[in-house]
Amino acid sequence: MTMYRTNRQYQKNWLSKNNHLKILDLGCTHVNYWKEANHFADIVDYTNEFKSKNLKFTLIAPNQKLPFKNKEFDYVILSHVIEHVENIYEFSKEIERISKRGYIEVPTKLADNLTFGCDEEDIGHKWWLEFDDVNKKLKYVKKIDALQKFISVGTLNKFQKYFEDSLTIQLYWEDTIDLVEERSIEFEKKITFLTLIRKFIGKKLRESLARFRNLTK
């Protein structure tokens, strides 16, 4: 049983050198899929898009058993997928069943609280996830909003290469995905965007006033 932090690019490089493996990108979309994979699957039907590229695609049903054999894949990629899944624990067991190892990438709690556009009722983010480096467990809890979101996904992606460790959790697992549910977190009051703006403007005004006083001494 193995699970530890890794790096997306390291995993991509390793897969490129081991392209004889059977590699599934699950939740691939038809735009940001991993080119290192050789099989693709999603709950949205991208059959035609992948057929035109001469790539294998499987349409899967949400919240259902995956249509693959036991240990059919050597490696499964789950990039920004499991935070969307309602039955997250059962889903993780299905991933263990169909694959020997894989890569998991999820947003940090901070990224999830900054970004709007991920809260669609049916397919939006449902969980906060955090990796326990001591016990090597991936902890999950029902997602709540502590901040009023003010950054788009596109804007956040522009910051990704500078603040990647603060915005994403990137994990390698082998044999077992050790997933543990945590007790729900409670916030007394959501911090609104207006509150943040007021604090920012107040700080800038104080700085400007201090500079003015120094000039008039």
In the predicted structure, residue 31 carries a pLDDT above the cut 80: yes
Q: What is the DSSP letter of 83?
A: G
The CATH number of domain 2-187, selected from 3.10.450, 3.40.50, 3.10.50, 1.10.1740: 3.40.50
β-pairing, 137-142 vs 101-107, is unpaired
Run of H or E including 48 = helix 47-51
State which H helix or E strand residue 39 sits in: strand 39-42
Is residue 43 packed enough to be buried (19+ CB in 10 Å), middle (13-18) or exposed (0-12)?
A: middle
Q: How confident is the model at residue 164 (pLDDT cuts 50, 70, 90)?
A: confident
Per-residue pLDDT of 3-24, as tens digits, reads 999 999 999 999 999 999 999 9
Q: Name the least confident of 2-11, 69-78, 109-118, 127-136.
A: 109-118
Q: 113, 212, 114, 108: which is closest to 166 by C-alpha?
A: 108
**For 169-205, how does the pLDDT look when each residue is reduced to its tens digit (9 = 90+)?**
999 999 999 999 988 767 666 666 566 666 556 666 6
What is the pTM assigned to this prediction?
A: 0.84
Q: Which two tokens stand for residue 104?
A: 């998991």
Instruction: Give the domain ranges of the chain.
Output: 2-187
CA distances from 103 to 11, 100, 206 (A): 8, 11, 47
CA angle, 98 then 64 then 8, to 5°? 50
For residue 121, what pLDDT band results from cuts at 50, 70 and 90?
A: low
